[in-house]
A = this chain, B = another copy of it.
Amino acid sequence: MLGDSVKQKLREIVGSQWFKDDKESLITHSYDSTPMLQSLPDGVIYPENTAQVSAILKLLNEHRIPVVSRGSGTNLCGGTVPVEGGIVMVMHRMNRILEVDLDNLTATVQPGLNTKQFSTHVEGLGLFYPPDPGSMAISTIGGNIAECSGGLRGLKYGTTKDYVIGLEAVLANGEIIRTGGKLMKDVAGYDLTKLLVGSEGTLAVVTEAILKLIPPPKTKKTMLAMYKDLYGAARTVSKIIENRIIPATLEFLDNPTIRVVDDFAKLGLPLDMDAILLIEQDGDSETVERDIARIAEICQSENAERVTIATDEAEALKLMTARRSAFTALARLRPTTILEDATVPRSKIAEMVLAINEIAARHNVTICTFGHAGDGNLHPTATTDARDKEEIHRVEEAFEEIFEAAIRLGGTITGEHGVGLVKAPYLEWKVGSAGIEVMRSIKMAFDPNNILNPGKMFAKSTRKRVVLGHA
Contact = CB atoms under 8 A, between A and B. Distances in A.
Interface of A: 101-106, 126-127, 147-148, 150, 154-155, 159, 161-162, 171, 175-179, 181-192, 194-195, 197-199, 203, 214-216, 238, 241-242, 244-246, 283-284, 286-287, 290, 343-347, 372, 374-377, 410-419, 423, 427, 430-432, 434-439, 441-442, 444-446, 457
9 contacts: A159-B185, A161-B194, A182-B410, A183-B344, A184-B374, A185-B372, A189-B430, A191-B198, A192-B431
A345 B104 contact: yes
A411 B155 CA distance: 31
Q: How many copies does the complex hold?
A: 2
A239 to B, nearest CB: 9
Given A185-B375, A242-B102, A242-B103, A438 B345 contact: no
A374 B444 CA distance: 39
**Top 5 A-B residue pairs of the complex, sorted by shortest distance between their CB atoms:** A215-B244, A103-B347, A441-B445, A194-B194, A185-B415
B178 A155 contact: no
A176 B286 CA distance: 48
A439 B198 CA distance: 18
B155 A184 contact: yes
B103 A185 contact: no
B286 A431 contact: no
A366 to B, nearest CB: 26
Contact of A103 (B194, B241, B432): B241
Contacts of A344: 183
